[in-house]
Structure 1
């Protein structure tokens, strides 16, 4: 009976060219962290990719915050306009806004929250 392949035998492989001296630096770092060079490279790539994802999520949150502040400013202008149809104008604004956001297929939790709650406003 044959032995099943080791995980490293079936894992994706990628040839990599490194600038001069980088291999030695990776070897030293791997030894300091009690890892193989492969494990050191994987760990460092994972940290880099996780940091990039977190930065993108933070940017989306900040954009959502700015959007919310802009909407609040618009609502304040409408409320202070003295127009007798304020409620109708606000209702129309939210219906139009929600329709536009739904078309864009939002990914952020903030936009999903805004859509769900704006959709509950009476017509």
Structure 2
């Protein structure tokens, strides 16, 4: 027996369950958003959301922040290692980044231990 076609209702789409917000835009702003969206190959909605995400990111936990900083320090150390620093300033920066990295790792372990106790 052939399958019957089943039509989706508007509530079947995830976008229908997301928060909605009506917004009044100043003259010309819609055109600027449209131009930026076209340039980035995305919808106007996606362009607006991306802009808002960049301006209002989700708050990071202290552990997430520490992990991010650790990653940044690793990048700095990697750049310094690739350049084979010889100057006293570069060597001091390398030592400083190593010290911060160790302290961040210790802080992350303490936070994880504290989280496990709760």
Normalising by structure 1, report the TM-score: 0.40
Q: Which has the higher contact order (CA 8 A, sep 6+)?
A: 2
Which of the pair has more CA radius of gyration?
Answer: 1
